[in-house]
Amino acid sequence: MDTQAPSNCEPLSLTRSIGEFPIGNIPLHQHQQAALTRAGLASEAISIHPHAWLAAADLTFLAATNTLLDNFLTPLAWRGATPDLARTVTVAASFVIRYPWDLLRANEGYVDGLENSVLLGEVHPSAVLEGIVHLGAGSRILPGVFIEGNVVVGAKCRIGPNCYIRGHTSIGDACHIGQSVEIKNSLILSRTSIGHLSYVGDSVIGEAVNFGAGTIISNFRHDGKNHRSMVDGQLLDTGRRKFGAIIGDHVHTGIHTSIYPGRKLWPNTSTRPGAIVQHDLRGADA
């Protein structure tokens, strides 16, 4: 089976495979192995689609059948080297990551399932944590930070002061989330800096990204319909009423940049101060 990252996951798949993409700061392929272990199948000969997000509860069906299919009838996991399409079960909680917004769905599933807080860093007494929080070693949550819902923060991060971070958010290692920033339901990779007075909602932000002050990602249509995003020249329904932007690695935005919902910025692109990003921004367009 082809293990290359699909082109319809660009720009995120241009700099890493989907199997290496961190969900809650853990690579997808490690989540797959963890799901097998939780299902009691770690020692058995189980093959897995390289881009599959697997729910351990779904894997238990392999005790009575050969192959698990997602809602698109794509094999997710199977016994032996090849799927047996004569013995299948279709499952709902597991799926193949086909598009960037599927990474948000996987991250939501993982972060929602956290059971206990793990605080290895420093939390200022004035910070409020209302939810389950995983905080990495060497990270600091500064005064006035309010975390609502389940959130993962990696190691050596600086969060705040006066930030609002909402549930189903994952923040990688060595990130800086600045003064008065709001982050909601987003996946932010390592070494990224979200400057002060910025908003990031329902978005995937790559590695070593720098947002200038006042960068705003819009995530809601005025008509309340699902967002659409351009993939290989076609506008696709994301199935999401709230959907922000997909930002590749090493992107820099100028101050007061505004980004339309569903837009994608390719690695190493940049915007000028006050820019309005209405279309996908590729390297040749920057």
Q: Which residues are catalytic?
A: 196
How many residues make up the chain in this entry? 286
List beta partners, residue 69: 75, 90
| Residue 170 · residue 24 · CB < 8 Å | yes
Q: Let me know if 131 is exposed, middle or buried by CB neighbors in 10 A (0-12, 13-18, 19+).
A: middle
Nearest to 130 by CA among 147, 112, 151: 147
**CA 176 vs CA 41, 167, 179, 193, 271: distances in Å:** 39, 18, 10, 5, 20
* DSSP reduced 3-state for 56: helix
> Tell me, what DSSP letter sits at residue 13?
G
Q: What is the dihedral of CA 129, 133, 139, 145, to 10 degrees?
A: -20
Phi-psi region of 180 (alpha: psi -120 to 50; beta: other; left: phi over 0): left
Q: Does residue 161 have a cis peptide bond before it, meaning omega lies within 30 degrees of 0? A: yes
Rounded CA separation 6/21 (Å): 13
